[in-house]
Structure 1
């Protein structure tokens, strides 16, 4: 993972944690275990980092919903 995408993933973990009222460590585990980080955020970094935070959080929520992962 390159530095820019790493920073983006960390930022999105914290954005999701704030919206979902969860600890960042719990959000990280959920995103890691669901494949969201390696299969969704990192591969789509070039497009996603240009979008607004709320839009990307919504995309993450949809990714988890499709995979039946509770938030």
Structure 2
């Protein structure tokens, strides 16, 4: 993970926390539990960092829901 993708991951964790009314540490735990950070955010960084924040939050929500994680 390079600095740019790291900054993006941090930004998205905080964006999700704000949207879902959770602490960033809770969001990090949820994303980590299903490897969303490495398998989605970092792996597809080149594509998804060009999308809107709300679009990526919706995608993360779908990713978590598909893996049985309740938000």
User: What's the TM-score once normalised by structure 2's chain length?
Assistant: 0.97
- Structure-2 separation of matches of 1:64 and 1:34: 7
What root-mean-square deviation, in Å, do the aligned CA atoms of Structure 1 and Structure 2 show? 0.5
Deviation per residue, 1:17-52 (Å, 9 max, x gap): 000000001101110111100111100000000000
SS at match of 2:51: coil
Q: Which residue of structure 2 aligns with residue 30 of structure 1? A: 30
Please say if 1:49 is aligned against 2:46.
no
Q: Distance in 1 between matches of 2:52 and 2:22?
A: 21
CA separation in 1, counterparts of 2:65 and 2:47? 21
Total equivalences in the alignment: 71
Partner of 1:58: 58
Structure 1's unaligned 5+ residue stretches are none
Q: Distance in 2 between matches of 1:64 and 1:25?
A: 16
TM-score w.r.t. length of structure 1: 0.97
